[in-house]
Structure 1
Amino acid sequence: MEVILLEDVKTLGKKGQIVKVNDGYARNFILPKKLGIEATNENRNNLKLQKANAEKVAKQQLDDAKQMAEKLKELSVEVKIRAGEGGRTFGSVSTKEISTAAKAQLGLDLDKKKIQLDEPIRTMGTHIVNIKLHKDVVGKLSVKVTQQ
């Protein structure tokens, strides 16, 4: 019997694959546990449609991320921190502060977890920060750190 896997099964394959298994294994294990469905013509067509839709959505997300990366190149955010004599800062600029400043100044809702800092920003001036927009796309945002 051929089944379409609905979840990853360690010994058989990954989600979405069509695999051939013994009838008893399918009836007693895979089908009751909802790990797969019988590979009828209707189910095969549904699988093809789902894969096509998933590819379309993934391509759209990638295009959106690339557009956002281009937009971010031209933008700049200003973050004010406390500093003492000689421009020495108290503390550092965190991803949360950058995210909050981007929302307030630019109207961009950037997740603080997607902002990547090699090390905390502890100096005044302009710094380039990486923002992971997609698994394949990283945008760069200019962050200007000034004295409060």
Structure 2
Amino acid sequence: MEIILKEFVNGLGEVDDLVNVKAGFARNYLIPTGKAIAATPSAKKQLAETLRQREHKAAKIREEAQALAAKLEGVKLTIGAKTSSTGKIFGSVNTIQLAEALEAKGFNVDRKRITIDQDPVKEVGSYKATIRLHKEVSVVIDFDVVSE
């Protein structure tokens, strides 16, 4: 039986995938729990239209992410931190501080999309961080940690 998945099903597929399963599995589990619908001709047309619209929106979001990545390409951040006399930081530099420094420069980036390559940052020096703006677009920025 051909069905259209409405949510992720482990071992079967992602949302809006068109898959073949045994009729009993579809009738007794997937359809009653709302995880899938039967793939009727009208449902297939609606799925095709939904995927077409989603692809158009995804292309626009990808273009915006690439434009932001181009702007972020040459950005170098300086993070100030309280340090001891040996150069060790009290605490550590994290993605929250990087997101705040980017926002101060005019870039609004969610801290959850930032990953620091060398984690944790506990000393003064130069480091790199990766910002994933989209699943296909990421940019690496340099940042320096200096003593306040």
The bucket for the TM-score relative to the shorter chain is 0.7 to 0.9
CA contact (8 A) 1:3 1:21 kept: no
CA contact (8 A) 1:73 1:142 kept: no
> Which structure carries more strand by proportion?
2
Deviation at 1:25, TM superposition (A): 5.9
Q: Give distance in 2, aligned partners of 1:76 and 1:134.
A: 21
Counterpart in 2 of 1:3? 3
Q: Give distance in 1, aligned partners of 2:145 and 2:26.
A: 62
TM-score scaled by length of structure 1? 0.74
Q: Give distance in 2, aligned partners of 1:98 and 1:135.
A: 20
TM-score scaled by length of structure 2? 0.74
Q: Give distance in 1, aligned partners of 2:121 and 2:114.
A: 13
Identity %: 26
Deviation at 1:72, TM superposition (A): 0.7
Counterpart in 2 of 1:109? 108
Deviation at 1:53, TM superposition (A): 1.9
The alignment partner of 2:121 has SS state of coil
The alignment partner of 1:43 has SS state of helix
> Which structure carries more helix by proportion?
1
Q: Give distance in 2, aligned partners of 1:61 and 1:142.
A: 25
Q: How many residues align?
A: 144
CA contact (8 A) 1:81 1:89 kept: no
How much is the aligned-residue C-alpha RMSD, in angstroms? 2.9
Gaps in structure 2 of 5+ consecutive residues: none
Name the CA shift for 1:142/1:52 in 2 (closer, same or farther; >3 Å): same
Q: Give distance in 1, aligned partners of 2:93 and 2:30.
A: 52
Counterpart in 1 of 2:68? 68
Q: Give distance in 2, aligned partners of 1:25 and 1:89.
A: 59
